[in-house]
Amino acid sequence: MENYNTKNFIPITSWAEDDKPREKLMQLGKHNLSDAELVAILLGSGSRKETAVSLAKRLLSASDNNLNLLGKQTLGELQVFHGIGEAKAVTIAAAMELGRRRQLIDLKDRPQIKSSYDSYNLLAPKIMDLPHEEFWILLLNRACRVIGRKLVSTGGSNATIVDVKMVFKKAVETGAPCLILCHNHPSGNCFPSGEDLKITKKLQEGAKLLDIQILDHIIVADNDYYSFADEGML
C-alpha cells in the first residue's frame, strides 16, 4: 500500500480557480493544459487521499511522461494505480484510442509522399501500439500520391511472415507502380533485423520483374522509425 502525505492535501473544492483543470480548459482553452491536467479531466476525480491531478501525474510518470507508452497500457495495468478502477481505466483507454485514430489521414485526399516522415505518419498510427508485428504496404502512383494502404500479414511479438506473392498481388490489383513497405517492432528497437534485410531484398528483386519500384521500407517502433531509403539501404 502506498503512503500519502495527507497533511498537505487540499481538496479540489478549495483549489484556486486557475488550478482546476475543467475550469482552466474553459477559461484558457485546451492548449494551455498540461498532459496531467488533461488526464485528470478524464479521471474526473482522484481518491480520498489525493487529487485527480496528482493521480494523473503518477500515472504519467510511470509511463516516463510519454503518451505513446500510456496508450499501450492494458486495463489491468491501469487499475494497478490506487484510485483507478475499471470505469476510469476504460475512459483512459478509450481516449488514447481516439487520439490514435485521429492521426489516421483520410486517403481519399491522396496525400503525396515527399519524405520518409510522410510515410511514417500515414502508417504509424495503425501499428505503433500493437503487441504483435504487422506488415503493411502503401500503394502509390508515379506522382507518389497514395492510392491505397493495405495490411499484408500479422504475426507474433517478434516476427511476421511476409507472403511476397500477396504483396505484389495487391500492387497489381490496384495498378500501383510504386510501393512503400512498413512493419512494426513491438520491442521498441527500430533497427532492421537480418530477416528484415532478407525480405526487403527479396521484395526488391521481385518488384523489378513486375516493373514496380519499392521506394522505402519503414520500421516503426514506439514514436521512432527507421527508413531504409534514408539510410541508403535501397
- DSSP H/E element including 179: strand 178-184
- Collapsed DSSP state (helix, strand, coil) of residue 217: strand
Sign of the torsion angle spanned by Cα atoms 228, 147, 137, 198: negative
CA distances from 83 to 40, 49, 88, 99 (A): 12, 9, 9, 23
What domains appear along the chain, each with residue ranges and CATH number?
6-102 (no CATH), 107-227 (3.40.140.10)
Phi, psi of 190 (to 5 degrees): -90, -5
Arithmetic mean of pLDDT over the chain: 86
What is the separation of C-alpha 28 from the centre of its chain, rounded to a whole number of angstroms? Answer: 28
- Contact of 86 with 75, CB cutoff 8 Å: yes
Q: How confident is the model over 62-71, as pLDDT tens digits?
A: 988 888 788 8
Q: How confident is the model over 163-215, as pLDDT tens digits?
A: 899 999 989 888 899 999 999 999 889 999 999 999 999 999 999 999 999 99
- Contact of 119 with 113, CB cutoff 8 Å: yes
Rounded CA separation 144/194 (Å) = 28
Residue 45's pLDDT band (cuts 50, 70, 90): confident
Task: Provide the 10 A C-beta neighbour count for residue 168.
Answer: 19
Rounded CA separation 127/134 (Å) = 7
Instruction: Quote the cell numbers at residue 163.
Output: 507472403
Torsion (CA) 123, 64, 54, 50 in degrees, nearest 10? 110
Of 106-115, 133-142, 163-172, 181-190, give the lowest mean pLDDT range. Answer: 106-115
